[in-house]
Amino acid sequence: MSTERIEIKLEYVGDDYVDLNNMSLQALESFLSVTNSLKNIAESISKEVTFTIRKGSAYSSVNGTPSEIGNIYQSIDEAIVGESNDEIITSNLRNIQKEIQSQVFRYQFKYADIKLDERIRRAKKITKKRTTNIYEKELTILSGFFNSIGGNDPNYHFDYGSNNRLTIDCDFPDVDELKDYLYKTISCLVLKKFSKDDDDKVFYYHISVLEDEQINNFRELIHILNNQEDLFKRLESLYEFVDNSKSRIKDLRILLKSYSSIFNNINELKTLLILSKDLKDNTEIKEYRENLLYDFEHSLDKI
């Protein structure tokens, strides 16, 4: 564990191990893009850092004093959680996120024992924090005929006919799952961002496809989460949600996978960990629960 460097390594492209001495064009373009973005982030904070590119796998690192590297990590951490106002940091980290979230490349990105690649892979699209928060947020359920998906910044559409279409943004990991629903009428849990001052400024961000048996239970839960500020009532609604679930593992999988979009209090995360503890080894939720546990413990360290 070193606090004197931040490391990034491209290990695989598809099933092929990456060798710095014999890289494909696809691997080279991705690695150079990520390395250049890391350089841009680092030099925006300190001009005294150095860089290493190591033979073998495609490995690069930014090196400096613990203080310098700690400051770079703090800037990356702020951007991951949506608290950065720095365009250089957020735009370059968004480029790194695009490569890490790709289904083609397998990256390691770490500082000391902190696995940045896992946090970046799970994070929503990294953007600069607005200086004035003009948007409200709420969870909602949308239904419609799902007729297209794609784009460099992926999204999908619900078609209601007569040129009436609704666009929902999503992340690269969602694309493969969503393709199975093309040309079907489906329902989705989404995060809605809207401006009270401008009815045209409404944006939707995908959380999960819902099966028919899940809709009513989720509708009751998000009604409480959208409208209730009392923490005890919010936590009580979580217990009721699980008790009333007709598909407990599927429901918990959605909450665990997308907790950062659904919950905003550390006690809600703790409750979700408690409610899923007896299923911690279930293959459908194990990875998502471990990710939540990692972030929960990381949050406790900051308190």
Q: Give residue for tokens 């990991």.
A: 173
pLDDT of residue 272: 96
Residues 181, 255, single domain; the answer is yes
Residues 150, 267, single domain; the answer is yes
Q: How far apart are CA 189 and CA 187, in angstroms?
A: 7
pLDDT of residue 125: 84
**242-248 contacts: CB < 8 A, separation 24 or more?**
242/275, 244/217, 244/220, 245/217, 246/213, 246/214, 246/217, 247/211, 247/213, 247/214, 248/279
- Asked whether the beta carbons of 44 and 89 are under 8 A apart, the reply is yes
pLDDT of residue 284: 94
Residues 58, 206, single domain; the answer is no
Look at 219 and 147; give whichever has higher pLDDT: 219
Q: Is residue 257 part of a domain?
A: yes
Tens digit of each residue's pLDDT (9 = 90 or more) over 78-105: 999 888 889 999 999 999 999 999 888 9
Residues 70, 147, single domain; the answer is no
Q: Name the band, by pLDDT with cuts 50, 70 and 90, for residue 148.
A: confident
Q: Is residue 142 part of a domain?
A: yes
Structural domains counted in the chain: 2
Residues 52, 117, single domain; the answer is yes
Residue 301, classified by CB atoms within 10 Å of its CB into exposed (0-12), middle (13-18) or buried (19+), is: exposed
Q: Is the predicted pLDDT of residue 234 greater than 70, yes or no? A: yes
pLDDT of residue 132: 56
Q: Which of 91, 122, 153 lies at the terminal end of a domain, its last residue?
A: 122
Taking the model in full, what pTM does it have? Answer: 0.65
Tens digit of each residue's pLDDT (9 = 90 or more) over 248-296: 999 999 999 999 889 988 999 999 999 999 999 999 999 999 989 988 8
Q: Name the band, by pLDDT with cuts 50, 70 and 90, for residue 152.
A: confident
Q: Name the band, by pLDDT with cuts 50, 70 and 90, for residue 190.
A: very high
The letter for the amino acid at 42 is: A
Q: Is the predicted pLDDT of residue 303 greater than 70, yes or no? A: no
Residues 151, 112, single domain; the answer is no
pLDDT of residue 264: 83
pLDDT of residue 59: 92
Q: Is residue 129 part of a domain?
A: no
pLDDT > 90: percent of the chain: 64
Residues 224, 100, single domain; the answer is no
CATH of the domain at 60: 3.30.70
The letter for the amino acid at 93 is: L
Q: Is the predicted pLDDT of residue 134 greater than 70, yes or no? A: no
Tens digit of each residue's pLDDT (9 = 90 or more) over 17-74: 888 888 899 999 999 999 999 999 999 999 999 999 987 779 999 999 999 999 999 9
Q: Is the predicted pLDDT of residue 1 greater than 70, yes or no? A: no
Q: Is residue 267 part of a domain?
A: yes
Q: Is residue 19 part of a domain?
A: yes
Q: What residues make up the domain containing 145? A: 135-302
CATH of the domain at 198: 2.40.50.140
Residues whose CB is less than 8 angstroms from the CB of residue 249 and which lie 6 or more positions away in sequence, other chains included:
279, 282, 284, 285
Residues 83, 150, single domain; the answer is no
Q: How far apart are CA 208 and CA 250, in angstroms?
A: 11
Q: Name the band, by pLDDT with cuts 50, 70 and 90, for residue 176.
A: confident
Q: Is residue 130 part of a domain?
A: no
